[in-house]
Amino acid sequence: MKRTKKKAFREFIAQKGLKSTRQRDIILDAFLSSDRHMSIEELYLKLRAKHPNIGYATVYRTLKLFAESGIAREIQFGDGQTRYEHVAEGEHHDHLVCTHCGTIIEFENETIEKLQDEVAQSHDFIIETHKLELYGICGKCRK
């Protein structure tokens, strides 16, 4: 998985005529070995511990590249920070977000996806992407 993504990114870099740099390798490793749903700031701070000389702008630009290459996806949970999450080849999931403790649960539901397509079709739309987020209180927070 990690291997696959590294390879995928290397190929993206090559195919685009971009350069393979020390920073991009470091940031990719940090990203792949981190929580899903990291903000730029979070990843930047995590990196700073071992690599104090990496700039925020580089992390920012590199995460954009990850998204462009298809190994990451940009998400917004409405807290004002852009987050990036790992994308697995051919997979998709949506999110359940606890508004109390911030816990994020991922889920897939084929039936919902199908119904979405039907809705789109009935309005003569062809869906490219979608966003489904359920905000609420998790079990722990209700106790």
Partner DNA sequence: GACAGAAATGAAAGTGATTTTCATAAACAA
Partner DNA sequence: TTGTTTATGAAAATCACTTTCATTTCTGTC
The binding site for Mn ion (CB under 5 A) comprises 85, 106
Q: Out of 13, 75, 96, 98, which residue is the one contacting Zn ion (CB under 5 A)? A: 98
Question: CB-wise, 16 or 100, nearer to Zn ion?
Answer: 100
Rg (CA), the chain: 17
Query: In degrees, to the nearest 5, what angle opens at C-alpha 9 toward C-alphas 35 and 127?
Result: 75
Nearest CA to 45 out of 61, 59, 65 is that of: 59
**Closer of 33 and 111 to a copy of itself (Cβ):** 111
Q: Which of residues 69-88 bind a copy of itself (CB under 8 A)?
A: 76, 78
Question: Distances in Å between the alpha carbon of 87 and those of 1, 84, 117, 131?
Answer: 10, 9, 21, 15
- CA-based nearest residue to 131, from 69, 74, 81: 74
Among 51, 92, 100, 130, the residue binding Zn ion under the rule CB under 5 A is 100
- Cα 38 to chain centroid distance, Å, stands at 7
| Closer Cβ to a copy of itself, 50 or 142, answer by number | 142
* Positions that interact with a copy of itself (CB under 8 A): 76, 78, 96, 98-99, 105, 107, 109, 111-112, 115-116, 119-120, 123-139, 142
* Positions that interact with Zn ion (CB under 5 A): 98, 100-101, 103, 138, 141
